[in-house]
Structure 1
Amino acid sequence: MLRNREYQLVLFVMCLLSLLGIIAASFISAIAMILIAIISALLIASSLFFTSWRYREIAKLSSYLRQISSGDYSLDVRDNEEGELSILKNEIYKVTLMLSEQSSILKQDKIQLTDAISDISHQLKTPITSMMVMADLLTDAELPVEKRMEFTHNIHVQLERIKWLVSSLLKLSKIDAGTVQFKQEPVSVYKLCHKALEPLLIPIDIKEQAVSINGDQTISFLGDLNWSVEAMINILKNGVEHTQEGGNIDITFAENALFTEIVIADNGPGIPKEDLPYIFKRFYKGKNASEESIGIGLAMAHSIITSQNGHIVVQSEKGKGTQFRIKFYKQVI
């Protein structure tokens, strides 16, 4: 405390003023001089005591901060008194709570990252192992041409699958990190539906499925066309894959004062009731999922839609088809 230059200056000024007061009182009377001397000594002693107390409190706070920096957020320094130290204690406690919450979020993120890496490793392991086996077989000079072409085609298919997985994971990671800048432009729902259907026309034609689009062509919402197309493709792809040959996929859209709604319905076998709560969970594969399914398409669609002030729900009944309802709100609710 006494090494503090500021307090040394304060103490010097107090002593000087006390000395001047004692000298001035000596011209009045001896009793006045003694009284001024006692009062000055008591004031200086009180200042020393109070400053010493403040230093002890600050030392406690310093110790508390050291514990916080080491990761201990369990201490509580709040008090209900008035004063600068009390305000400081309460502010430090608020910061402690914030750091504790951030620490919990970081731990949860680490767990999710570990799980994601584990899932990705699992997804990549199968195609890579398959390609390694086929690559070894291709080294056989006596391998028939038909088998060689078959293995080459299978390797190409597996590489396309890995490329799609990596691309999808990169897009998801950008959305999760908040680095994607979604545009806020008028998006024609009619145009959105047609652009989303384009890459799926061949599998739709192969399965002889019927697709209908119904809605006012002037309906639109504020969003990002390209990212919205990405979401719609994944939802439609799910419908095409899980709808039988000759089945129907119906797209309808409408709007009101609150939101623009797009409904994608199919007459496929439906989603089992126990799978519905997890349908948008990353890497989740339901009972009816195909072997090639990775379980990332609907998760990506959900992230894209919710990132654009949207909402998506799924309704399904076994044997009666599945319905995805997408709402893009016109204002934040």
Structure 2
Amino acid sequence: MLRNREIQLFLLTMSFISLAGIIAAAFFSIAASMLVFVISVLLIGCSFIFTSWRYREIEKLSGYLQQISSGDYFLDVRDNHEGELSILKNNIYKVTTMLSEQGSLLQQDKVHLTNAISDISHQLKTPLTSMMMMADLLSDAKLPPVKRREFTHNITIQLERIEWLVSSLLKLSKIDAGTVQFKKEAIAVKKLLQKSLEPLLIPLDIKEQAISIEGDDTVSFVGDFHWTTEAVINILKNCIEHTPAGGEITISFAENALFTEIVIADNGKGIVKEDLPYIFKRFYKGKNASEDSVGIGLAMAHTIITSQNGNIEVKSKQNKGTQFRITFYKQVI
């Protein structure tokens, strides 16, 4: 402490002031001079003790900061006493808590990223391995034309699957990163459903599945038409996939003062009870999922809907079908 230039100047100034007071008091009497001397010594001593205590407290805080910089965020430096140092300690505690929370979030992000990369690698490994084997077989000049066409067709299918997977992951990553700005426009539900069904008419026709739509033409909600169409397409794809040939898919929608609701149901084989809590989890494949399923369509639908002040629920019973209930809540001001 005494090596600090500010403290040296402070003590020197106090000493000069005390010396001047002692000399001035000596003109009156020796007793007055002694009284000024005693008072000066006491004042300088008290100042020295108080300053020494403050330096020790600051040294403790410096030690706390060093521990925090080394990654030890579990330090409680709060002080219930009044004073500037107590305020400083409380502020350090707040910053420590914030850094601890940010550190935990960063660690969670790392775990999620690691899991996502692992899942993506797993999903890409199977089609890539298959294509490598078929490409190797295609290099054989003696391969019959029929087999050559078959392998070429299979490679094309695998490439389309990879393209869809990469495209879906890019869309999800944009939403997760918050770079997607969802539009807030009035969407007519009937128009949304018609647009969503357009790319699915051929699969519906191939499986001879009937589809019925029931609802008032005036029903609407506020959201992003493009992204919501993407979500509904993925839900309808799931229904078509799990509904047998000749099955039926029903869509109904309605609106009230609180929300707009869309219900999509099928009479397919349903979802196993144990799978229900996880069907919106990325890369999760239920027991009834097809071999081509990658478990990302429903996850994307869930992310898009919930990002637009919405909610999606599912009810299902084996061999009795599945029902998806989508709710878009109205914003009450």
Same fold (TM over 0.5): yes
Summarize deviations over 1:23-60 as a string: whole Å, max 9, x none: 43333332222222222222222222211211111111
Q: Which residue of 1 aligns with 2:94?
A: 94
Query: 1:282, CA displacement in angstroms?
Result: 0.8
Q: Distance in 2 between matches of 1:174 and 1:9?
A: 61
Give TM-score, length-normalised by structure 1.
0.95
Q: Which residue of 1 aligns with 2:54?
A: 54
CA contact (8 A) 1:309 1:332 kept: no
1:221 aligns with 2:221: yes
Query: 1:175, CA displacement in angstroms?
Result: 1.4
Q: Which residue of 2 aligns with 1:24?
A: 24
Q: Which residue of 2 aligns with 1:275?
A: 275
Q: Distance in 1 between matches of 2:329 and 2:126?
A: 41
Q: Distance in 1 between matches of 2:184 and 2:34?
A: 81
Summarize deviations over 1:206-250 as a string: whole Å, max 9, x none: 111112222222222221111111111111110111111111111
Q: Distance in 2 between matches of 1:9 and 1:258?
A: 72
User: CA 1:3 to 1:186, structure 2 compared with 1: closer, same or farther past 3 Å?
Assistant: farther
1:63 aligns with 2:67: no
Q: Distance in 1 between matches of 2:36 and 2:225?
A: 84
Summarize deviations over 1:77-104 as a string: whole Å, max 9, x none: 2221111111211221222222222222
User: CA 1:257 to 1:32, structure 2 compared with 1: closer, same or farther past 3 Å?
Assistant: farther
Query: 1:8, CA displacement in angstroms?
Result: 4.2
1:15 aligns with 2:11: no
1:117 aligns with 2:142: no
Query: 1:9, CA displacement in angstroms?
Result: 4.4
Query: 1:6, CA displacement in angstroms?
Result: 4.0
Query: 1:14, CA displacement in angstroms?
Result: 3.1
Q: Which residue of 2 aligns with 1:317?
A: 317
Q: Which residue of 1 aligns with 2:138?
A: 138
The secondary structure found in structure 2 opposite 1:222 is strand
Summarize deviations over 1:233-276 as a string: whole Å, max 9, x none: 11111011111111111111112221111111111111111110
Q: Which runs of 5+ in 2 are unaligned?
A: none
Query: 1:115, CA displacement in angstroms?
Result: 1.5
44-53 or 26-35, which deviates more: 26-35
Give TM-score, length-normalised by structure 2.
0.95
Q: Which residue of 2 aligns with 1:289?
A: 289
Q: How many residues align?
A: 333
Q: Which residue of 1 aligns with 2:235?
A: 235
Q: Distance in 2 between matches of 1:165 and 1:217?
A: 34
Aligned residue identity for 1:145: P
User: CA 1:33 to 1:187, structure 2 compared with 1: closer, same or farther past 3 Å?
Assistant: farther
Percent of pairs with identical residues: 75
Q: Distance in 1 between matches of 2:181 and 2:3?
A: 55
Q: Which runs of 5+ in 1 are unaligned?
A: none
Q: Distance in 1 between matches of 2:300 and 2:115?
A: 17
1:258 aligns with 2:262: no
The secondary structure found in structure 2 opposite 1:142 is coil
CA contact (8 A) 1:265 1:323 kept: yes
User: CA 1:194 to 1:14, structure 2 compared with 1: closer, same or farther past 3 Å?
Assistant: farther
